[in-house]
């Protein structure tokens, strides 16, 4: 692992690189011109190392000073206003971030702003499709050869050639375009019957829009349109101070708010070179685990509800209140705890609080055992989960699933163990893996993870380090870039932060776990029964608000043809099927 | 029968007034029980009534592209079917107001009207969820109806009559048929749940898949009538099963005790299971339900042939 | 194509006292049977999980006759969360229009009131009040389940005539809803 591996990569890719550098034992930076990108990525995949974690686009860099102008030297004040529309100034850099364990290998491609174009790497890395679509919509980097030309993230009436994440983007320029005929009804070929799900649909507590072509009860095609909850948080973060950003990212998702804030804080702290007191880190970790408990119980209920098992929904939500009470007792809030500071945490855990938590864990432990029994033995429930929505390990790796979805397919990926952050170094976690790959496995993994959470919480309480909770944070953060990866309840959460030394971030890139899991789901749903769709969708615990920080999804079309305004999931699917070597269709 | 008595039977007892009141009360008991099983408080006693009146006074939206006559007429037909069926059963433990030889079969057909109307109502709109719901409702109808009928025939054959009143009378003088024909009882009870699309057989209106199934487009009065019709069917179904299998109904007290006990069982079944997929429902009925009911019938017929009376 | 309710159609031509009584019954049923439909127009989920929590055993909204339905056609109250994004706007309007009259809107959460933390973001049209008429705002980020329930109860209280309202206000505990 680590340094040796990274040098091996450096060597293997050398023919295509124009510069490379081992920034540390776990960081490798490589530069390649756009024309070599595909070859380099293909060679990279040949090494069978790691997975594509994110594709980040940066704007506002200095002029491309030749291919070897290596380390991110931010090009002074970013060009603002219409002057730079002509694109003579500056360049855009696209970062392909591959990860394995704690290691991060970045392929950097710098392209001129006025001719921003990179080849699609989705041929070599199928999971890149959504990342590339996001890149092209948000930053205006044309990705040649990207399957499916329809919009996924931005609204239909968004003007062409306006890209919100460009530095010279003005809100006024995004005024709705009048002649943007929404592509209603375009998706129904003769002879197919389309069932729309979303954006307002009981199976989705959040808006997302899916369309399933059905033959009787069997799904023959699937497409998805994201973007209903796209709020533009990445852009908004660039206009807020480092501290304000903390509260903004907390509101990316109300279910996993603490983990977003943690990832962001860890990133900023790394940039600023701060060392957080161990007690602060331990309490931060404890809250992460409590949040995971609440999130998994919530998921258990929602997934059971999707399978029409309302009693289990009611019971798990009743028990979830136990952990909600604890979170409220600790932080004063049930959701959006605002517990993180840049430099530590706000809230202390005293002896009575610790006792209350222990009691809560004891109670929930018993309940978790009960739920494990239900999800593995209840006949009627197993009929809906066993053998349903199987994502094989190979498929899971190809499509880059993360978190419990991947672990239920036998992929032992858990950043808490593989790349311990915060206090996970002192309080190690064992990944819960299941080989069965189906819906039942996803239930089992999440419920068994609860037990792991209880153990970690108790351990932290028993060995809570003494000392301060936090240290003061600087107003300005040193120039540089940082990648922060944490294990959210739904899987790997990726933050890329870039500072130009000011009071505001230059770029905050968030790649949420749900985005990684879509591709696998859309492939797996074909050939399944309509009745199983909600269960399978719920199986990955999709979080649209995470997903759609810059996307939006929508709800069901009620009358007739309904809105068929689809980012072609179909394209991705055919693509995936082709890649997957035939398969069902 | 003179006209006054006939009018009383139609409008007051066991006709419209009594059936509506009692079925709303039974809906309340059902919802309350399910809520208690789910660890909730549950609705207040007047909840079904408030829901019903509210739906009546709400705007009725008739979507584009439907046949207006059908859209408005189907809920009425469904309700009328259920109300008529109420006249042939020993409601409240008293003798049925009407009866003729073979009224059992007529009652079963009347009860079936509800599902047919729901299916047609779903197929009448252009909404996709309604269409899928309609297809599922009719598929389900096709699967449980035969076993349900077979299960009701068991007691009829034992009693040697296809007249509900006579079967009821026979059941009161003989051991409870739940003991002598347990298979039939199970099939009948679960068949009733399938008929009423109660969980876990609620695939035709599975909220998380197809919103409200065939009724998705109904808003005011239509929805109220369909819901009321279903409540009445629940009441009639419980009455029939307790008359046939639980030793007959001889008095209002017996009626209350036996039907409520049955309601308790169905409420528990509702909260115990995850929803069955429509293919699983059909499979369950044809592979298990129909076979069980047939076995029951064959045993009965064989016993009668060798002269054993149950 | 819309049609007046059965009651409204038959009410004309009846004696005034009888009509008043009918209207009182209609109002009573409306107050006691608020069916909800939930729409997320761009929220972070925080409010949405709290809305779901009101259905769960600890709060159990069914006590007040409230039920969450999937179809806007069945609903009386649209419970809406979040700032309104450009893509969700049209759907929000559509869901609102699909609801049969009389219909009400409860906007849950700070984002629904002002856009909250997302105020001024490029993909935000505005708050919920900019898109559909809102009857009750429930502030908070997110509001507690109690506050959401209180918001719905406030809405129902306002439907009643003033005298009955005073009576009900005494019975209900005061809450945080505006």
For a pLDDT cut of 70, what percent of chain A falls above it?
79
| Contact pairs from chain B to chain C, CB under 8 Å | 118
What is the distance between the alpha carbons of residues A224 and A197, in angstroms, rounded to a whole number? 9
Reduced to 3 states (helix: H, G, I; strand: E, B; else coil), residue A117 is strand
Alpha-carbon separation of residue B14 from A5, B171, B192 (angstroms) = 83, 21, 21
* More confidently predicted of A181 and A349: A349
A174 vs C: CB within 8 A:
yes
Q: Residue A23 to residues A3, A58, A62, A105, A110: CA-CA distances in angstroms? A: 10, 19, 21, 10, 19
Task: Read off the pLDDT band of A542 (50, 70, 90).
Answer: low
Cα dihedral sign for A544, A545, A550, A553?
positive
- Do the Cβ atoms of C46 and A314 come within 8 Å? no
Tell me whether strands A51-61 and A117-119 are parallel, antiparallel or unpaired.
unpaired
Q: Give φ, ψ of B68 to 5 degrees.
A: -60, -40
Among all chains, which residue has been given the structure tokens 């809105």?
A: A563
Smallest CA–CA separation between C14 and chain B, in Å? 16
C57 interaction partners in chain B (CB closer than 8 Å): 38-40
3-state secondary structure B148-209: HHHHHHHHHHHHCCCCHHHHHHHHHHCCCHHHHCHHHHHHHHHHHHHHCCCCCCCHHHCHHH
Report the share of chain C in percent with pLDDT over 90. 3
Confidence grade of residue A85 (pLDDT, cut at 50, 70, 90) = very low
Is the pLDDT score of A311 beyond 50? yes
Amino acid C58: pLDDT: 87
- Looking at the predicted structure, is the pLDDT value of residue A584 above 60? no
Asked if A380 and B206 come within 8 Å (Cβ–Cβ), the reply is no
SS3 A198: coil
First to last CA, chain A: 39
B35 chain-C contacts, CB cut-off 8 A: 60, 62
Which stretch of A89-98, A419-428, B176-185 has the lowest confidence by average pLDDT?
A: B176-185
Residue of C nearest to A247 (CA): C117
Most confident among A455-469, B123-137, B279-293 (mean pLDDT): A455-469
Q: What are the pLDDT digits (tens) for A182-193? A: 443 444 455 566
Q: A531 with B205: CB under 8 angstroms?
A: no
Q: Which residues of B17-51 are buried (b: 16+ CB within 10 A; e: fewer)?
A: ebbbebbbbbbbbbbbbbbebbbbebbbebbbbbb
DSSP assignment, residue A155? -
The DSSP bridge pattern shows strands A91-100 and A340-341 to be unpaired
pLDDT of residue A282: 92
Q: What is the pLDDT of residue A293?
A: 92
Using DSSP bridges, classify how beta strands A117-119 and A91-100 pair: parallel, antiparallel or unpaired.
unpaired
**Mean pLDDT, rounded, for C80-95:** 83
User: Which of A528-537, A541-550, C95-104 tops mean pLDDT?
Assistant: C95-104
Q: How confident is the model at residue C25 (pLDDT cuts 50, 70, 90)?
A: confident
Complex ipTM value: 0.81
- Do the Cβ atoms of B278 and B134 come closer than 8 Å? no
- What residue of A is the nearest CA neighbor of B280? A383
When CB atoms are compared, the residue of A202, A233, A318 closest to C56 is A318
Rounded Cα gap, residues A51 and A38, in angstroms:
16
Using CA coordinates, name the residue in chain A closest to C118.
A231
Mean pLDDT of A517-531: 76
Instruction: Share the mean pLDDT of chain B.
Output: 81
Listed in sequence order, the residues at least 6 apart from C140 whose beta carbon sits closer than 8 Å to its beta carbon are C109, C110, C147, C176
pLDDT in tens, B97-139: 777 777 888 888 888 888 888 888 887 777 777 777 787 888 8
Q: What is the DSSP string of A56-107?
A: EEEEEE-----TT--S----SSPP-SGGGGG--S-EEEEEEEEEETTEEEEE
- Whether chain C has a CB inside 8 Å of the CB on B51: the answer is yes
Specify the range with the lowest mean pLDDT, choosing from A417-421, B232-236, C120-124, C144-148. C120-124
3-class SS of residue A492 = strand
Classify A332 as helix, strand or coil: coil
Is A193 an interface residue toward B (CB < 8 Å)? Answer: yes
Q: What pLDDT score does C177 carry?
A: 39
- pLDDT above 90 as % of chain B: 3
Give yes or no for residue A554 having a pLDDT over 50.
Answer: no
| Residue B207 pLDDT | 63
pLDDT (tens digit per residue) in B127-177: 777 777 787 888 888 788 878 888 888 888 877 788 888 888 888 777 787
Region A81-104: what's the mean pLDDT? Answer: 70
Q: Which two tokens stand for residue B111?
A: 């009860």
Cα angle A259, A263, A265; round to 5: 110
Q: Round to whole Å and give the CA distance between C149 and C128.
A: 19
A185 close contact with B: CB closer than 8 A? no
Least confident of A12-16, A197-201, A216-220, B226-230: A197-201
Burial A471-499 (b: 16+ CB within 10 A, else e): eebeeebeebbbbbbbbbbbbbbbbbbbb
Q: Three-state SS for C127? A: coil
Cα–Cα distance between A483 and A23 in angstroms, integer?
Answer: 13
* A418 Cβ contact partners less than 8 Å away, ≥ 6 residues apart: A101, A102
Does the N-terminal peptide bond of residue B14 adopt cis geometry, omega within 30 degrees of 0? yes
pLDDT digits (tens, 9 = 90+) for C91-104: 888 888 888 888 89
Distance CA B30, CA B270 (A): 10
Q: Are C49 and A254 an interchain contact pair (Cβ–Cβ within 8 Å)? A: yes
Phi-psi region of A208 (alpha: psi -120 to 50; beta: other; left: phi over 0): beta
Q: How many CB pairs under 8 A join A and C?
A: 161
- Output the 3-class SS for A409-458: CCCCCCHHHHCCCCCCCCCCCCCCCCCCCCHHHHHHHHHHHHHHHHHHHH
| Lowest-confidence segment of A119-133, A156-170, A273-287, B240-254 by average pLDDT | A156-170
- Buried-state track B257-272, b at ≥16 Cβ within 10 A, e below 16: ebbeebbeebbebbbe
pLDDT on residue C174: 45
Classify A209 in phi/psi space as left (phi over 0), alpha (psi -120 to 50) or beta: beta
d(CA A443, CA B296): 40
In this prediction, residue B287 carries a pLDDT of 78
What distance in Å separates the CA atoms of residue A513 and residue A502, rounded to the nearest whole number?
29
């Amino acid at each position: 692992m680590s340094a040796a591996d990274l040098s091996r990569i450096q060597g293997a890719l050398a023919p295509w690189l124009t510069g490379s550098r081992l920034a540390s034992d776990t960081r490798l930076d490589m530069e390649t011109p756009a024309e070599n990108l595909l070859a380099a990525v293909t060679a990279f995949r040949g090494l069978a190392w790691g997975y594509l974690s994110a594709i980040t686009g940066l704007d506002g860099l200095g002029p491309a000073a030749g291919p070897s102008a290596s380390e991110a030297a931010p090009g002074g004040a970013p060009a603002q206003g219409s002057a730079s529309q002509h694109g003579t100034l500056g360049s855009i850099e696209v970062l392909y971030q591959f990860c394995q364990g704690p290691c991060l290998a970045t392929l950097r491609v710098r392209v001129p702003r006025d001719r921003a174009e990179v080849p699609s790497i989705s041929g070599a890395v199928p999971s890149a499709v959504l990342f590339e679509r996001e890149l092209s919509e948000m930053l205006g980097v044309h990705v040649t050869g990207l399957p499916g030309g329809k919009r996924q993230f931005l609204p239909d009436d968004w003007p062409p050639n306006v890209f919100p994440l460009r530095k010279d983007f003005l809100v006024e320029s995004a005024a709705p375009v009048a002649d943007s005929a929404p592509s209603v009804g375009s998706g129904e070929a003769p002879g197919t019957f389309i069932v729309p799900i979303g954006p307002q649909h009981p199976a989705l507590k959040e808006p997302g829009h899916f369309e399933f072509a059905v033959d009787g009860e069997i799904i023959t095609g699937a497409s998805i349109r994201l973007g209903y909850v796209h709020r533009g948080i990445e852009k908004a973060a660039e206009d807020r101070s480092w501290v304000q950003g903390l509260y903004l990212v907390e509101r990316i998702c109300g279910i996993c708010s603490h983990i977003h804030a943690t990832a962001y804080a860890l990133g900023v702290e790394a940039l600023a070179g701060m060392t957080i007191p161990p007690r602060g880190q331990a309490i931060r970790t404890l809250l992460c685990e409590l949040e995971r408990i609440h999130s998994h119980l919530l998921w258990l209920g929602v997934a059971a509800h999707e399978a029409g098992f309302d009693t289990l929904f009611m019971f798990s939500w009743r028990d979830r209140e136990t952990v909600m009470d604890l979170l409220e007792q600790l932080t004063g809030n049930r959701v959006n705890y605002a517990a993180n500071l840049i430099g530590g945490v706000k809230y202390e855990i005293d002896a009575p609080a610790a006792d209350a938590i222990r009691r809560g864990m004891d109670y929930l432990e018993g309940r978790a055992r009960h739920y494990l029994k239900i999800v593995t033995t209840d006949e009627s429930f197993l009929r809906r989960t066993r053998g349903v929505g199987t994502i094989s390990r190979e498929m899971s790796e190809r499509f880059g699933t993360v978190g419990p979805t991947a672990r239920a397919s036998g992929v032992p990926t858990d950043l808490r163990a593989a790349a311990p952050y915060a206090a996970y170094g002192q309080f190690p976690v064992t990944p819960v893996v299941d080989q069965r790959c189906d819906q039942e496995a996803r239930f089992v993994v999440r419920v068994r993870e609860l037990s792991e959470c209880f153990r970690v919480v108790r351990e932290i309480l028993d060995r809570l380090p003494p000392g301060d909770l936090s240290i003061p944070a600087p107003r300005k953060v040193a120039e540089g870039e940082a990648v922060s990866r944490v294990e959210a309840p739904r899987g790997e959460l990726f933050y890329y932060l870039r500072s130009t030394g000011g009071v505001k971030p230059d770029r905050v890139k968030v790649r949420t776990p749900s985005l990684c899991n879509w591709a696998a789901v859309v492939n797996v749903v074909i050939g399944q029964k309509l009745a199983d769709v909600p269960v399978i969708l719920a199986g990955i615990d999709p979080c649209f608000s995470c997903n759609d920080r810059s996307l939006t999804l929508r709800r069901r079309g009620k009358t007739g043809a309904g809105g068929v305004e689809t980012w072609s999931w179909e394209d991705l699917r055919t693509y995936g099927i082709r890649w997957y070597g035939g398969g069902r269709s | 029968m003179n006209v006054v008595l006939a009018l009383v039977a139609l409008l007051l007892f066991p006709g419209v007034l009594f059936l509506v009141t009692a079925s709303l009360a039974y809906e309340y008991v059902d919802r309350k029980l399910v809520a208690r099983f789910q660890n909730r408080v549950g609705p207040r006693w007047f909840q079904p009534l408030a829901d019903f009146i509210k739906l009546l006074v709400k705007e009725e939206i008739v979507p584009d592209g439907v046949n207006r006559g059908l859209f408005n007429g189907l809920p009425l037909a469904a309700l009328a079917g259920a109300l008529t069926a109420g006249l042939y059963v020993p409601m409240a433990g008293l003798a049925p107001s009407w009866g003729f030889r073979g009224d059992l079969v007529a009652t079963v057909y009347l009860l079936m009207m509800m599902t047919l109307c729901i299916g047609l109502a779903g197929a009448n709109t252009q909404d996709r969820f309604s269409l899928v719901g309609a297809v599922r409702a009719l598929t389900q109808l096709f699967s449980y109806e035969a076993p349900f009928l077979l299960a009701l025939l068991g007691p009829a054959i034992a009693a040697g009559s296809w007249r509900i009143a006579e079967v009821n009378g026979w059941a009161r003088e003989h051991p409870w048929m739940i003991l002598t024909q347990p298979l039939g009882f199970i099939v009948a009870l679960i068949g009733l749940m399938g008929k009423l699309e109660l969980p876990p057989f609620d695939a035709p209106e599975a909220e998380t898949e197809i919103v409200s199934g065939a009724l998705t487009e109904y808003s005011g009065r239509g929805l109220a009538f369909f819901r009321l019709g279903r409540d009445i069917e629940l009441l009639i179904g419980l009455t029939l099963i307790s008359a046939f299998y639980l030793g007959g109904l001889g008095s209002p007290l017996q009626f209350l005790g036996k039907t409520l006990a049955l309601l308790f069982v169905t409420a528990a079944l509702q909260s115990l299971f995850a929803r069955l997929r429509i293919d699983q429902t059909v499979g369950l009925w044809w592979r298990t339900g129909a076979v069980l009911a047939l076995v029951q019938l064959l045993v009965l017929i064989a016993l009668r042939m060798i002269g054993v009376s149950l | 194509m819309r049609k007046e309710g059965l009651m409204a159609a038959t009410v004309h031509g009846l004696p005034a006292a009888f009509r008043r009584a009918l209207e009182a019954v209609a109002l009573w049923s409306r107050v006691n049977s608020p069916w909800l439909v939930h729409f997320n127009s761009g929220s972070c989920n925080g409010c949405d999980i709290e809305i779901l929590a009101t259905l769960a055993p600890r709060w159990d909204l069914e006590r007040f006759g409230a039920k969450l339905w999937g179809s806007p056609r069945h609903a009386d109250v649209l419970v809406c969360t979040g700032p309104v994004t450009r893509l969700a706007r049209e759907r929000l309007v559509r869901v609102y229009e699909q609801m049969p009259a009389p219909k009400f809107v409860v906007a849950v959460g700070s984002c629904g009131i002002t856009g909250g933390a997302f105020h001024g973001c490029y993909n935000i049209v505005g708050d919920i009040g900019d898109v559909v008429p809102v009857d009750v705002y429930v502030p908070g980020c997110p509001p507690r389940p109690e506050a959401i329930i209180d918001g719905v109860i406030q809405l129902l209280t306002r439907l009643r005539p003033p005298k009955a309202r005073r009576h009900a206000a005494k019975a209900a505990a005061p809450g945080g809803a505006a």
